Chain A
Amino acid sequence: MDQRRFIEKQVDEPYFLSVYQEYFPLLFNYGIQIAGNRALVKDAIQDLFIELRTKLALLQAARSVKAYLYTALRRKLVKMTAEEGKYLHLSDQTSFEVVIPYESSLVARQAGDEQRARLAIAFETLTRRQKEAVYLKFYEALSYEEVAATMQLEDVKSARNIIYKAIRAMKSNMLLHRSASFISLLLTFIALLT
Chain B
Amino acid sequence: MKHKYLHYTAEDFILDEAFQQWVQQPSGEQQAFWEQFLHRHPEKRAAVEEARHFLRSLAFRKVTPTAQEYHTVLQNIEAGHPKAVISANHFRKASFWQWQAAAALFLVGLGTLIYLWWVVPAQTVTWQTAYGEKKEIMLPDSSVVVLNANSTLRYAAAWDDRQPREVWLAGEAFFEVKKKPVTSQQFLVHASTLEVEVLGTSFNVNHRRDKTQVVLNTGKIRLHRTDTDRDPQNDALVMQPGQMVEYFEQEKKLVQKTVNPAAYSSWQENVLIFEGTCISAIAQRLEDTYGFRVVIQDPSLADTKFTATIPTDRVETLLSLLSELLGVPVTQTGRTVTIGK
Contact = CB atoms under 8 A, between A and B. Distances in A.
Given A43-B83, A47-B83, A90 B58 contact: no
Interface residues of B, number: 40
What range describes how many residues of A lie at the interface? 35 or more
Interface string B35-75: 00000000000000000011101111111110001101110
A183 interface: no
Contacts, number: 117
Interface stretch (B9-17, B106-114, B153-161, B289-297): B9-17
B63 A28 contact: yes
Contact of A32 (B57, B59, B63, B77): B63
A32 B53 CA distance: 26
Contacts of A44: 83, 85
A193 interface: no
A139 B60 CA distance: 7
Interface string A67-104: 00000000000011101101000100000111111000
Contacts of B53: 115
Contacts of A137: 20
The 10 A-B pairs at the shortest CB distance, nearest first, are namely: A43-B83, A32-B63, A97-B61, A28-B65, A49-B77, A43-B85, A101-B59, A84-B88, A83-B86, A141-B24
Interface of B: 10-11, 14-15, 17, 20-21, 24-25, 53-55, 57-65, 69-70, 72-74, 76-77, 80-90, 92
19 contacts: A20-B74, A24-B70, A24-B73, A24-B74, A25-B64, A25-B70, A28-B65, A40-B88, A47-B83, A51-B82, A80-B85, A83-B86, A84-B86, A98-B58, A98-B61, A143-B17, A144-B17, A160-B15, A167-B15
Interface of A: 20, 24-25, 28-29, 32-33, 37-40, 42-47, 49-51, 53, 79-81, 83-84, 86, 90, 96-101, 112, 115-116, 119, 123, 134-135, 137-139, 141, 143-144, 160, 163-164, 167-168, 171
Given A33-B61, A80-B88, 15 more contacts: A20-B77, A24-B74, A32-B63, A33-B60, A33-B63, A37-B88, A46-B82, A79-B86, A81-B88, A84-B86, A84-B89, A90-B88, A99-B60, A101-B59, A143-B17
